[in-house]
Amino acid sequence: MVTGGTGLVGSAIKEVIDAEGNSEEKWVYLSSKDGNLCDPAAVAAIFDKYQPTHVIHLAAKVGGLFANMKHKVQFWRDNVNMNDNIFQECHKRGVQKLVSCLSTCIFPDKTTFPIDETMIHDGPPHFSNEGYAYAKRMVDVQNRMYKSQYGCNFTAVIPTNIFGKHDNFHLEDSHVIPGLIHRGFNCKKEGKSFDIWGSGKPLRQFIFSIDLAKLMIWTLRSYDEADPIILSVGEEDEVPISDVAYAVAKSLDANIGGTPLEVTFDTSKADGQFKKTANNHKLRKYLPDFKFTPFEEAMDITVKWFLENYETGGVRK
């Protein structure tokens, strides 16, 4: 059972599982229409209905830097409540494996780089997303407590920034890549310059949703530590936001044609955390040969998907 199965990561897991064509496993993908996971009774009813043996818990209150700054309390409460309900039901029902999802933006702000899995709790997170970060950090604590008290096989993955098809392309509250694709598309239509928020200097590692989906399915089937694992491209693939903006502009220009976008930077807007460089050495010990989709190729797939689905109303925005 995949909670949050209709979002960016859930849709990618579905795409990978459907392509596998494995008829021995039955996968269920939940959306908020199946019940509000903040409500313990709704979560119990979902477990009654599906009786899951394995759970990937993706559902979360998720947003980009600007949504996190505006709604810290909701980011804290929704995530703590959802996670607590899911952990409790998984334990009560004897679920064999639970994989939850953390994020590299929960790491300490003032730290040494690169960050690894042992450093999650070594100092406060960046103030901009503390509601989300502290709620997510508790998942790591819960995994260890449920293991030590009940012997549960619960764990978590730590992805870097994710992007791909079925993302939330909201103009203000989304993450940077979907936000820029949508804004760049509007700028092309209106013949305006393409304004990037902040200086463009912050550094990020991005993982394509399909790559993350493959790695999360591997985690579910083959990774049995309670301690979390970072799922990320290497440190050498960290890019400044300015490069992301140029890649978005290049792909929109190539796919739409017309006058090329002129990229500008609005330094009156926040930059957020400067960097959160994570190392993927643990992942590489397990899967030395895993191939990540090249960034520009993944960007082009995402932009094409956005353009194909925009007019039909298939884009969350």
Q: Which residues bind ligand NAP (CB under 6 A)?
A: 4-10, 31-33, 36-38, 58-62, 78, 82, 101, 103, 159, 161-162, 168, 175
Q: What is the CA radius of gyration of the chain?
A: 19
Q: Shortest Cβ distance from residue 173 to ligand NAP (Å)?
A: 10
Return the range that interacts with ligand GDP (CB under 6 A); candidates 19-27, 87-95, 117-125, 173-181.
173-181
Out of 29, 47, 66, 154, which residue is the one contacting ligand GDP (CB under 6 A)?
Answer: 66
User: CA 11 → CA 127, 179, 199, 213, 312, distances in Å?
Assistant: 30, 19, 32, 9, 18
**Given 132, 134, 146, 310, which residue is catalytic?**
132
Q: Yes or no: say if 43 and 95 are a contact pair by the CB < 8 Å rule.
A: no
DSSP assigned state of 128: G
Q: Shortest Cβ distance from residue 97 to ligand NAP (Å)?
A: 17
* Residue 153 vs 168, nearer CB to ligand GDP: 168
Q: Are strands 229-231 and 154-159 parallel, antiparallel or unpaired?
A: parallel
Instruction: Write the binding mask 2 to 41 for ligand GDP: x where contact by CB under 6 A, - elsewhere.
Output: ----------------------------------------
Quick one: which of 296, 29, 1, 24 has its CA closest to 166? 29
Quick one: which of 87, 86, 143 has its CA closest to 120? 143
265's enclosing H/E stretch is strand 263-266
Q: Shortest Cβ distance from residue 49 to ligand GDP (Å)?
A: 34
Rounded to 10 degrees, the C-alpha dihedral 169/232/215/308 comes to 30
Out of 61, 204, 214, 282, which residue is the one contacting ligand GDP (CB under 6 A)?
Answer: 204
CA distance 301 to 153: 35
Binding partner of residue 271 among ligand GDP, ligand NAP, none, CB under 5 to 8 Å per kind? Answer: ligand GDP
* Residue 228 vs 261, nearer CB to ligand NAP: 228
# binding residues, ligand GDP (CB under 6 A): 21
Quick one: which of 94, 88, 95, 96 has its CA closest to 42? 88
Rounded to 10 degrees, the C-alpha dihedral 263/207/160/246 comes to -10
* Residue 136 vs 183, nearer CB to ligand GDP: 183
* Residue 188 vs 202, nearer CB to ligand NAP: 202
- 134 catalytic per annotation: no
Q: Which residues are catalytic?
A: 132
- Binding residues for ligand GDP (CB under 6 A): 64-66, 105, 161, 175-176, 179-180, 183, 196-198, 202, 204, 241, 269-273
